[in-house]
Amino acid sequence: MLDVQRYRGATHLEEIKFARKFMWAHMILGPVVIALFLFHEVFSWFAGSTLWYTLSLAVMYGFMNERKHCRWLLALVFLGGAGAGVLFVNRVFPGIDPPRGPLIPHAFVPIWVGLANLAYTVGALFLLFNTRIRRAGQVGFTLW
């Protein structure tokens, strides 16, 4: 029994390593986006991005535990985050007054939001179409 658990997914070790790196990238980029909303004093979007990130972690946990539908759901969560970023840059950001003493210049907002949108759109495409991530989700894996 212990040997079965120890070598679970050993045939797909390269796929699992790639999926781990992919998930760690999301676990790092998500808090960076949340912190940047906080630094720019956009508190409602800070709260929304925190909820989005929490939801993505819950779905990510399901994906890592061999639940097929969670891969599609995680891709939808990523696309939802990217869509919210496009909404923010086009509708919300032009109406925001810059804070008095910002930690990060206000003109930097469209740059980092655009890069995050691009990263999460590419991430959603990887989740949907990359065979390595699909195989890793089929056998299940952990982050370490």
Inter-helix orientation angle 131-139/68-87, to 10°: 130
Longest dimension (CA), the chain: 62
17-44: pLDDT as tens digits = 999 999 999 999 999 999 999 998 899 9
**Residue 5, pLDDT score:** 55
43-63: pLDDT as tens digits = 999 999 999 999 999 999 999
- The half-sphere exposure of 101 on its side-chain side, counting CA atoms within 13 A, is 0
| CA distances, 64 to each of 69, 87, 119 (Å) | 11, 30, 20
> Which residue from 98, 85, 95 is spatially nearest to 34, judged by alpha carbons?
85
pTM (global) more than 0.75: yes
Amino acid at 42: V
**Residue 16, pLDDT score:** 92
Burial track 62-84 (b if 16+ CB lie within 10 A, e otherwise): bbbeeeeebbebbbebbbebbeb
**Residue 106, pLDDT score:** 87
**Residue 74, pLDDT score:** 97
**Residue 116, pLDDT score:** 97
